[in-house]
Chain A
Amino acid sequence: MTFYYHNVYLNEVATIAGPYEAKGPLSQFYDRVYHNFYFDMPTFEQAESKIIAESVDLLLSKINKTKDKIDVHISGDLLNQIVATNYAAESIGIPLIGIYSACSTSVLGLIMASNMLDAKQIKNAIVTASSHNNASEKQFRQPIEYGGPKKKTTTFTTTGAGAAYLSSNKLGLKVESATIGTVIDLGITDPNNVGAAMAPAAAKTIYEHLKETKREVDYYDLILTGDLGKYGQEILKEYMQVEYHINLNNYQDSACMIYDLVNQPVHAGGSGPACLPLVFYSYIFPKIKKGEFKRILLVATGALFSTTMLNQKLSIPSIAHAISLEVIDDLS
């Protein structure tokens, strides 16, 4: 399902990153970094809530607006019952739409906000997505301090929050179109290899998007996926060729950009809802504004599993949502 937008713009962004991201190659681009996992809060879950609220505050100060001038806040995270979002929303105080779509939350949020803006239901919106390494390790994997050997395909959940402000004001980037993905499951059961589980979902969404918009793949200067990781991105490239006969040349994966995969202990790269926003908002967004890229397709991928379903021997269903962003053409 592809939507086109006529009057939606991604005006401004704000990012907050955690300690591992602060040591990564993009450290200088984040608006704020924290060097420990607690962010002056008593628990990791509360720490995640704090950076969501902080990212919204940071964004509001950048756009010079107060909370009461924002119509809606769309936000999601990885924790059960999206508690990080829900607890942050109380202090933020903007009408909330809480969403869960695992690591594809960020783009789903952008799509929902764009739809509401295009339908003129709202005048503006803030979209946030966050994750916290330790809070989600505890929930999805082993205890944090447990050191059982990890597989090379394991990804490392990103700590951070990314916030975006969308409105009909002609500033920043134009939100051009978006494609909602379908859920796909090709039988991957290993939670330590989610890149492989999510690659077919990303491929299908990219294919559907290109088909429905009648575009060639090189229409985009860059196709940026969320968190497939070092091995997942190679799987995507080959799957794309074999299944859809599309060569992904102008393609990158944010999981491989957010960390130094050689020198940081992150195995196959980053993951989590914050991974794509941190890379895109902090690093790519300014590049587009400078004109280094003209058209970008963001494809956020999400592995929609829980430990309960994995223990019941079920495989991992995945989804991917895509959104097309481009530089504002003054002639149009």
Chain B
Amino acid sequence: MDKKKYQILVKKHCPKENRLLNGLVAFLVGGFMGIIGQFLIDFYKNTFSLSQNYSSALMIITLIFISCLLTSLGFFDKLVEHAKCGLIIPITGFAHSMMSASIDYKKEGLVTGIGSNMFKLAGSVIVYGVVSSYFFGLIRYLISGGMA
């Protein structure tokens, strides 16, 4: 059997991923994360009379802390899997990927283990985040002449 024919046979037997449902779950969970984020911003603004910028930063730190804590306690991966991409795309996913990689390599030392493997998954997000922000900055400069 040639490779093309075999691909057809395989496709026939393998289940399709339900993308619509996955997308909907991700949309709802991701939206709910947004609500929590907004609640945290308002909470910091109103309770501690902080500025919008400070409150946003604290909101991010809070979410990172919670996802790292739950990852370390060992059940965030189950939540993430059920939430499809709803918890991976927000900042919680970034923290989760770093924390889970660190836990894997904890026993292999601070430098050779955690240090060099922490960014196993998150590394490419940082690299391409920086690269794309460079290009978007360039585009914005060309369009608006550097004015915000």
Contacts and interface: CB of A to CB of B under 8 A. Distances in A.
A238 B101 CA distance: 40
B28 to A, nearest CB: 15
A143 interface: yes
Contacts of B56: none
B76 to A, nearest CB: 6
Interface residues of B, number: 35
B80 A142 contact: no
A238 B10 CA distance: 10
A309 to B, nearest CB: 17
Interface of B: 1, 3, 6-7, 9-10, 12-15, 17, 22, 71-72, 74, 76-81, 84-85, 87-88, 96-97, 99-101, 103-104, 107, 120-121
A143 B121 CA distance: 9
A3 interface: no
Main secondary structure of the interface of A (DSSP, over half): loop
B81 A149 contact: yes
Interface string A96-109: 00000000000000
Interface in A234-266: 234-235, 238-239, 242-243
Main secondary structure of the interface of B (DSSP, over half): helix
A200 interface: yes
A186 B1 contact: yes
Contact of A242 (B1, B17, B84, B107): B1
A242 B9 contact: yes
B13 A143 contact: no
A238 B78 contact: no
B99 A152 contact: no
Given A145-B104, A146-B97, A187-B6, A152 B17 contact: yes
B1 A143 contact: no
Contacts of B85: 149
A261 B10 CA distance: 20
Contact of A187 (B3, B71, B103): B3
A248 B91 CA distance: 50
